[in-house]
Amino acid sequence: MTLSSPLPFGPLDRRTAHLCIDMQNLFAEDTPWHTPWMKRVLPAVIEIAERHPEQTIFTRFIPARHPDELPGSWRRYYRRWPDLTLERIDRRLLEVVPLLARLAPPRAAGRERCAQPDVNPRISCAVSSGTSSCGQCPIPSSSIQSACGSHLLR
């Protein structure tokens, strides 16, 4: 890191993607999964998305259909919050918060069951974890610079 660039991987350029991870009503509103910091970071996320809409990628968290759909820890997780499964949840909670929704592209058909980005296939993988689960687009965790719900991918 140099004094001219406080970012560990250098200045951001046109290859940089802004990952807007799970900025949904589910986490913004008064739900059991409310994320208190979302209100504080939302203005910065909106500013980045407005300045660079073509480089902004939105993801949405999609819960299990019912508490027993998934095994292990996920099953225990959804048994604790059965009202937040797809069979019970208010679908409006799954949408991107209104102040960002106008910037989000229409969702791709068939993506309702996985927590993948609403983007083109080259990054339809688990970018929020900093790794690729599709095997076609390696994304090392060192390439993600995080800023509370909003990530920059290089």
Are residues 74 and 145 both part of a single domain?
no
Q: Which helix (H) or strand (E) holds 41?
A: helix 38-51
| Model confidence band, residue 12 (pLDDT cutoffs 50, 70, 90) | confident
| Model confidence band, residue 137 (pLDDT cutoffs 50, 70, 90) | very low
Are residues 45 and 105 both part of a single domain?
yes
d(CA 57, CA 127): 10
For the cut 80, the answer to whether the pLDDT of residue 153 exceeds it is no
Residue range(s) defining the domain that contains residue 80: 67-91
Are residues 74 and 36 both part of a single domain?
no
* Top mean-pLDDT range of 13-17, 43-47, 106-110, 137-141: 43-47
Tokens of 40: 């504080």
| Model confidence band, residue 148 (pLDDT cutoffs 50, 70, 90) | very low
Are residues 102 and 87 both part of a single domain?
no
Is residue 9 one of the residues assigned to a domain?
no
For the cut 90, the answer to whether the pLDDT of residue 90 exceeds it is yes
Interval 51-78: pLDDT, tens: 999 899 999 999 999 999 999 999 999 9
Are residues 103 and 45 both part of a single domain?
yes
Q: b or e along 29-68 (b: 16 or more beta carbons within 10 Å of the residue's beta carbon)?
A: eebeeebeebeeebeebbebbeebeebbbbbbebbbeebe
Tell me what pLDDT residue 107 has: 64
Are residues 78 and 139 both part of a single domain?
no
| Model confidence band, residue 95 (pLDDT cutoffs 50, 70, 90) | very high
Q: Is 79 helix (H, G, I), strand (E, B) or coil?
A: helix
**Average pLDDT for the chain:** 75
Is residue 7 one of the residues assigned to a domain?
no
For the cut 90, the answer to whether the pLDDT of residue 111 exceeds it is no
Are residues 149 and 104 both part of a single domain?
yes
